Amino acid sequence: MRQFLVSITKEDDFFIARCPELNVTSQGESLEEAEKNIKEAIELYIESFGVEDLPQKVSKPYITFVEVAHA
């Protein structure tokens, strides 16, 4: 069993799920569907490519907002 970092954002009418470790993306019409679909996409990735080349330890993510002035 292994955990992967996934971010899910709402874009227009869909929730977009991304796994940056594997560069895998999926989507769903609901948050739950997006989470289910990204899990399936990650499982398919592992089935196809394995996890041998991935680092065994994953660093904890740091997520923040930055404010940028614009004209």
At residue 56 the predicted structure's pLDDT band, cuts being 50, 70 and 90, is confident
In this predicted structure, what is the pLDDT of residue 35? 98
**What digits encode the pLDDT tens for the residues 14-53?**
999 999 989 999 999 999 999 999 999 999 999 998 888 7
CA dist., res. 6 & res. 22, Å (int)? 10
Q: Which residue from 64, 49, 67 is spatially nearest to 21, judged by alpha carbons?
A: 49
pTM here is 0.81
